[in-house]
Chain A
Amino acid sequence: MTAAIDVFSSGPDRTGAAGKLGRGNQAGSPRDVLPGSKSRILHGPKLAETCAAWALAGPAFLLLIVLFLLPVIAVFIIALTDWQFGALSPKFVGLANFHEVFSDEGFRISLFNTMVYVLIVVPGTVVLGLLIALLIESGQSFRAFYRAVHFLPYMATLAAMAVAWEALLHPTIGLVNQALSALGLPTANWLRDQTTVLPVLAVIGIWQNLGFAMVLFLAGLKSIPQDLYDAADIDGADQWLDRLRTVTLPMLGPVSMFVVIVVALRAFEVFDTVQILTQGGPGHSSEVLLYTLYRESFQYLRTGYGAAVTIVFLVIVVALTLIQARFMDRRVHYK
């Protein structure tokens, strides 16, 4: 019964969300006409308002220029030089760094590993996150408990949790191998074996992100209008599975697309677990994009080359973000 009341109280919200997936979003168009703009002209000269505005926004403006705009321009310029940090007078070398990046076996492995990692983490996170969200919403009991537990890893310090995972995966004293050998199954040195290291890191990635996917899916589920379930009932789709197939999953389509991209962005940024657990090894088998970026730029101090790697990373992230921006008006609600 509480559910029915809930439906009524949030009625307009739900229909709005079903319509255009944007619930009264304020951010969509920056040039909305402000109702007060006319009266504002009467209040004083435009110049005064401009001065006041820039006085307020000035510090942020300057810092955005110094800490965001100029640095990103600098990366592009540095990438065209042979600069090694500390060395004098870098030379302009054109696109040589990019040529070197893409002909470098190590970088290709790193890019490939990152792709493999993303291709495991994204489906794993999205499918598990969806399953957990559906199961949590399908009943009334222990909702808050399950939600809280599954969200924990997303905010736990990953560097510290990586240390805990290492202990779990320890070849002799780790729980994983102890359990496997107790069951008579083969064990492995998970983080020191070229064949297992990347999938194991991906499992940690799924572990960390699935709560985030769950929250986004829970928000999506809440925005499905009850009318659709009622209509499906009348049409004879009264079984749980029928409703899932005819209403829930189709209505979650746009959210799912959004979750895929957001999780992919996070997966591309994998760094902490690699840095703490494997340092890219064994061999190059767990070397990923950000780790390569870090090592080349800040350990080997190959500044020009590091800048070129940075730009490859930037291009991937910006492409994904621009796709994501199309789904930006999805809001997150948690109840």
Chain B
Amino acid sequence: MSAAHGFVRPATIARHAVLLLTAAFIMLPFVWMVSLSLKPSDEIFRASFSLLPDQWYALENYKRVLTSAPLLRYMLNGVIVCAVILTVQILICAPCAYALAKLEFRGRDALFALVLIGLLLPQQVLALPLFILGYSVGVLNTYAALVFPFVVSPFGIFLFRQFFRSIPDDIVHAARLDGLSELAIVWRIMMPMAMPAVIAFSIFSIVSHWNDLFWPLIAVNDQRLMPPPLGIMAFKNEETGTDYGPLMAASSLVVLPLIVAFLAAQRWFVEGIAKGGVKG
């Protein structure tokens, strides 16, 4: 399938024809969303089709969702929640992964089995008991509720462990001879060397929690705490489908950060998200 085999022109044309068609299918909702976000209400409800508005209304729509609707608040919540989750996940997972990868100790197999069990369990299965736990501890409807189920990531431990194992033991021995503590080895030696795994995991973690609707729906109902997907849902229910322009503007803004980041660092994104998706 490489260039070495050569190609005739019709095949090339067919290739682009099919790929452009599927690409159009992929892009359709994105294009329609942005197109509607530029139009005033009466133009949206006019039964004629045009991609660009007759009367540009983008400023009004976007200004409205950023000022009267609490979209900025939703986005800020998303940033806070993702940042806290990721930070704590790395703080908790990296030392554990190092112990699993480089130390020999009683109970290591049991600990690793526990990680594998965690990998096996989908978040939705844990939602009910975690909801009850959150309720009895009294953290529901706070930022803590959005964060606590995710502070330890079996996938993070697994991924870091895999990467740490590929780092030669000699480096660890040398660091010990230099007088570094085990914890210092984790943060000063292992983590810098495991940067590819850290980046892949960070992207996976941020994308999945920025996009998560299921748990926030259960954990909070205060508008001021809602992360973007839940905020979009609340906004949509309030608007009751009459005010499409601002709703589409809000959706565009929620999708935008990840799209921009993806286009800037495609390769990292695909590795991170695809690895995470495969974990099940």
Question: What total count of A-B pairs have CB within 8 Å?
Answer: 353
- A265 — which chain B residues lie within 8 A by C-beta? 280
**Distance between Cα atoms of A250 and B254 in the complex (Å):** 42
Further 19 A-B residue pairs, CB within 8 A, beyond A1-B3, A298-B128: A34-B169, A35-B169, A40-B104, A56-B96, A57-B96, A59-B152, A67-B149, A68-B126, A139-B15, A149-B27, A151-B270, A156-B30, A163-B247, A164-B33, A173-B44, A173-B46, A211-B26, A215-B274, A332-B275
- B33 — which chain A residues lie within 8 A by C-beta? 160-161, 163-164, 167
Sorting the interface of chain B by its residue count into under 10, 10 to 19, 20 to 34 or 35 or more gives 35 or more
CB-defined interface of B69-105 with A at 8 Å, one 1/0 digit per residue? Answer: 0000000000000000000000011011011100111
Q: Is B142 an interface residue (CB 8 A)?
A: no
- A135 — which chain B residues lie within 8 A by C-beta? 15, 18-19
Q: Is A231 an interface residue (CB 8 A)?
A: no
Q: Which residues of B contact A (CB under 8 A)?
A: 1-5, 7, 11-12, 15-16, 18-19, 22-23, 25-30, 32-33, 36, 44-47, 49, 92-93, 95-96, 98-100, 103-109, 111-112, 114-115, 117-118, 120-122, 124-133, 148-149, 151-152, 154, 157-158, 161-162, 165-166, 169-170, 172-173, 176, 182-183, 186, 207, 210-211, 213-214, 217-218, 228-230, 232-233, 236, 241, 244, 247-248, 250-252, 254-255, 258-259, 262-263, 266-267, 269-271, 273-275, 277-278, 280
What 10 A-B pairs come out closest when comparing CB atoms? A36-B169, A60-B96, A159-B229, A71-B129, A3-B2, A164-B33, A53-B105, A160-B251, A56-B95, A63-B152
**Distance between Cα atoms of A150 and B30 in the complex (Å):** 12
Residue of A nearest to B166 (CB): A26
Q: How many Å from the CB of B206 to the closest CB on chain A? A: 10
CB-defined interface of A27-51 with B at 8 Å, one 1/0 digit per residue? Answer: 1001100111101100100100110
- A159 — which chain B residues lie within 8 A by C-beta? 211, 213, 228-230, 232-233, 254
- B92 — which chain A residues lie within 8 A by C-beta? 59-60, 63
Q: Is A75 an interface residue (CB 8 A)?
A: yes
Query: Contacts A40-B104, A164-B33 given: A146-B2 contact, CB under 8 Å?
Result: no
Offer 10 A-B interface pairs, CB within 8 angstroms, sorted by A: A43-B176, A50-B107, A54-B105, A68-B118, A68-B152, A142-B16, A146-B23, A207-B26, A276-B233, A334-B274
- A248 — which chain B residues lie within 8 A by C-beta? 1
Q: How many Å from the CB of A2 to the closest CB on chain B? A: 7
Question: Do the beta carbons of B236 and A68 come within 8 Å of each other?
Answer: no
The B interface, classified by DSSP as helix, strand, loop or mixed, is helix
Question: Do the beta carbons of A49 and B152 come within 8 Å of each other?
Answer: no
Q: How many Å from the CB of A52 to the closest CB on chain B? A: 5
**Distance between Cα atoms of A155 and B204 in the complex (Å):** 10
Residue of B nearest to A68 (CB): B118
Interface size on A, residues (CB 8 A): 128
CB-defined interface of A301-331 with B at 8 Å, one 1/0 digit per residue? Answer: 0010011001001100110111010001010
Q: How many Å from the CB of A270 to the closest CB on chain B? A: 11
**Distance between Cα atoms of A152 and B234 in the complex (Å):** 24
Q: Which of B112, B152, B232, B267 has the most CB of A within 10 A?
A: B152
Q: Is A119 an interface residue (CB 8 A)?
A: no
- B170 — which chain A residues lie within 8 A by C-beta? 36
Q: How many Å from the CB of A173 to the closest CB on chain B? A: 6
Question: Do the beta carbons of A207 and B15 come within 8 Å of each other?
Answer: no
Question: Do the beta carbons of B128 and A306 come within 8 Å of each other?
Answer: yes
The A interface, classified by DSSP as helix, strand, loop or mixed, is helix
A8-16, A97-105, A110-118, A289-297: which lies at the B interface? A289-297
CB-defined interface of A187-214 with B at 8 Å, one 1/0 digit per residue? Answer: 0000000000000000000010011100
Question: Do the beta carbons of A150 and B26 come within 8 Å of each other?
Answer: yes
- Per the 8 Å Cβ criterion, residues 200-255 of A in contact with B are 207, 210-212, 215-216, 221, 226, 229, 238, 240, 243, 248
Q: How many Å from the CB of A200 to the closest CB on chain B? A: 12
Question: Do the beta carbons of B278 and A146 come within 8 Å of each other?
Answer: no
**Distance between Cα atoms of A49 and B103 in the complex (Å):** 7
Q: How many Å from the CB of B85 to the closest CB on chain A? A: 13
Question: Do the beta carbons of A61 and B112 come within 8 Å of each other?
Answer: no
Q: Is A80 an interface residue (CB 8 A)?
A: no
**Distance between Cα atoms of A40 and B176 in the complex (Å):** 11
Residue of A nearest to B91 (CB): A59
Question: Do the beta carbons of A132 and B96 come within 8 Å of each other?
Answer: no
Out of B46, B128, B133, B274, which one reaches A307, CB within 8 Å?
B128
